[in-house]
Amino acid sequence: MKRRLYITGYYGMFNFGDELFQAALLQNSGSVFPGFDVRVARPRFRSEVLRRAYARRGRAGALLRAACAVWYAARASVLILGGGSVLTGLRGVRSLQWMLAPVTRTRFGAVGISIGPFSSAHDESRARAFLSNFDRLVVRDEHSMMEASRLGAGDRARLGGDIAALYNYPHRDSRDVGGHRRVLGYLPCAPATPDMRQTERVCAALGVAVDDSGLVRSNVEVVVFALDTHEEIGDERVASRAVSTLTDMGFAARIVRFENDDVEEVCRQIGQLDGAWAVRLHGAIVSYLSGVPFVMQSYHQKCEAFADEIGLPAELLASMQSEPEQLQGAWRALLRGDSSPRLSPSRYASRARAVYSS
């Protein structure tokens, strides 16, 4: 009988990037986890009320997540942390699973994760101890490789890139990007823009860049993606503000929401864009892997690590501190379409498949 392996992460939290991880791993479970009965540790509630309660902040949500964590830990021979910024300390359900390991005899590993940054020496110490129990460790960026080495796990760590590189993306239709019609994407991140001012600045910069390029605003459609639809901390509010602002500016604008865990539909919609402005990391990664030119507006170390990894040109990289002129310049570079990352998507994906399958 095959040993049972559960992939665990921030699943069931209404976030596109995290759901993309488990979809990609399930598509490739036979090559990434040969010899195991592979399953996903996520809530199986049929009730939408319970699904929302599981993801909610507060005591009720924490208790539901803890109960699920214990249930899966008791049934797993191996628990694999599957993607994301999941090792910045050790708390919550992950800490509970680790404490139960001597009883459940669960082994641990991780694929496609980031390590750090740590907010305290205590968090770093607990992460070091946790890593020492890992049978397998694949990280997604060079910074995490250095952190793994510093924390004593360098001999087991391998650099595989983001798990999203394993996903089988929908076919991208041919588009005439030299014509007068453009379909652009804006993929904001609510935690990075809590007061909406950053969103307003990005929209204003687009208006200037489009006018300077000779395009007509009414011939430019902007698709705004809400990639996190968590009812408390998701992107719905910022996406709605962006659509309202862009419409008032004379653009055609609409929202695409991540709904019903439909990873494939969101990937398909991103893949049809002529260009994308991504704040969400997996908005940028899916654009890259789908062959869509993109600007990354970095708000976190993991964004900068990805930009460095693929050699994203400086003119296509913005930050949350960028001045209006810099934002306008990034939009202009995107509209010109004459810059691209140094590392091709095919090479990035090929390396990922080789590392994750070995």
- Give the pLDDT confidence of 240-267 residue by residue, as tens digits: 999 999 999 999 999 999 998 999 999 9
101: its two tokens: 């390991």
Give 1's pLDDT tier (boundaries 50, 70, 90).
confident
Residue 75's contacts (CB-CB under 8 Å, 6 or more residues apart) are 4, 6
Q: Which two tokens stand for residue 316?
A: 């296509």
Cis status, amide bond into 117, omega within 30 of 0: yes
Between 170-179, 264-273, 304-313, the lowest mean confidence (pLDDT) is in: 170-179
Q: Which residue has the higher pLDDT, 94 or 21?
A: 21
Residue 16 reports pLDDT greater than 90: yes
For domain 3-168, the CATH class is: alpha beta
CA distance 294 to 276: 5
Average pLDDT of the residues in 289-293: 97
Q: Which of 45, 101, 49, 39 is nearest to 70 (CA)?
A: 101
Q: CATH homologous superfamily for 182-343?
A: Glycogen Phosphorylase B; (3.40.50.2000)
d(CA 135, CA 331): 44
Is the distance from CB of 266 to CB of 237 less than 8 angstroms?
Answer: no
What residue ranges of the chain are covered by domains with CATH 3.40.50.2000?
Answer: 3-168, 182-343
How many Å apart are CA 345 and CA 161, to the nearest integer? Answer: 11
Distance CA 95, CA 156 (A): 22
pLDDT tens for each residue of 80-94: 999 988 788 777 777
Instruction: Match 């705004």 to its residue by tokens.
Output: 224
pLDDT of residue 94: 74
Between 48 and 217, where is the model more confident? 217
Is 132 or 225 the better-scoring residue by pLDDT?
225
Q: What is the mean pLDDT of residues 318-324?
A: 96
